[in-house]
Amino acid sequence: MRIFETGSGWPVAGSEKKLVRVSSLPATSHSPLKTTGVTLIEMVIFIVIVGIAVTAVMSVFISVGRSGADPMVRIRGIELGQAVLEEIMLKAYDNSTPAGGGCVQFSSASRCSGGPSATAQSAAAFGNDSESRDTFNDVDDYHDIAYCGANVTAADSACSSACQPLLNDAGNDISADYEGFAVCIRVSFAGSEVNNTSPADVSVLDNDAKRIDVIVTDHLNSRYLLSAYRLNF
């Protein structure tokens, strides 16, 4: 603390000396400014880590994008096979099957008696009887038929016949609606596959059941097999 004396410094009559008290002020301290940031090495490491993370995420997105439509293609292929199979199952067992239902007789491997003689006595006789798709009337009319959608030249190798345009049950061409899809149809005697040996008197003999196989292929090289059995009645 400093004390200053006011006045001229010489005694003067009537004059008063005044003392002024001045508090000393603390000296201001000036600290250097602190700077923040990252070093070049830290920046490089950060870029490398972010690059690896982005690459991993993008690879997942690319993979999902490529396979995202696969389930829809499979569903469409299965639905096509189901539609064809249901159409076939609505047909008669044999060309000679009575209109009101009933079995047809075979020369062997059949339990039917009293019914008309079967037109297709063996698998070699399977196939359409000079009929078209809209007039097929029994399941083996569809045997070894190959149907192809647009931009497809062959169906599954299980069918040996040449591929023809994909048709619906009314005989209309729907190839453009199923681009990349193909259908192969196979029919065979399969009584032994559904045979029940106990009791023996209700067992199914070979010619009294037919298995219908519908094989659908798509542009993803997927193969869908749908099968059903049609009994002699």
Q: Tell me, what's the pLDDT at 214?
A: 98
Kindly give, in sequence order, each residue whose CB lies less than 8 Å from that of residue 34, ignoring residues fewer than 6 positions away.
none
Give me the half-sphere count of Cα atoms (radius 13 Å) on the Cβ side of residue 98. Answer: 11
Cα separation, 78 vs 73, in Å, equals 9
Tens digit of each residue's pLDDT (9 = 90 or more) over 208-230: 999 999 999 999 889 999 999 99
CB 218 within 8 A of CB 77: yes
- What is d(CA 32, CA 35) in angstroms, rounded to the nearest whole number? 10
**What burial class does residue 204 get, using C-beta atoms within 10 Å of its C-beta: 0-12 exposed, 13-18 middle, 19+ buried?**
buried
Can you give the pLDDT at residue 17? 53
Q: Model confidence over 141-171: pLDDT tens digits? A: 999 999 999 999 999 999 999 999 998 888 8
Would you list the DSSP string of 8-31?
Answer: -SS--TT----EEEEPPPPPPP-P
Point out the residues of the chain with pLDDT beneath 70: 1-36, 60-69, 197-201
The predicted pLDDT at position 110 comes to: 93
CA–CA separation, 168 and 183 (whole Å): 12
Cβ neighbours for 72, distance < 8 A, ≥ 6 positions apart: none
The residues, ordered by sequence, that sit 6+ positions from 27 with a Cβ below 8 Å of its Cβ are none
User: Which pLDDT belongs to residue 27?
Assistant: 54
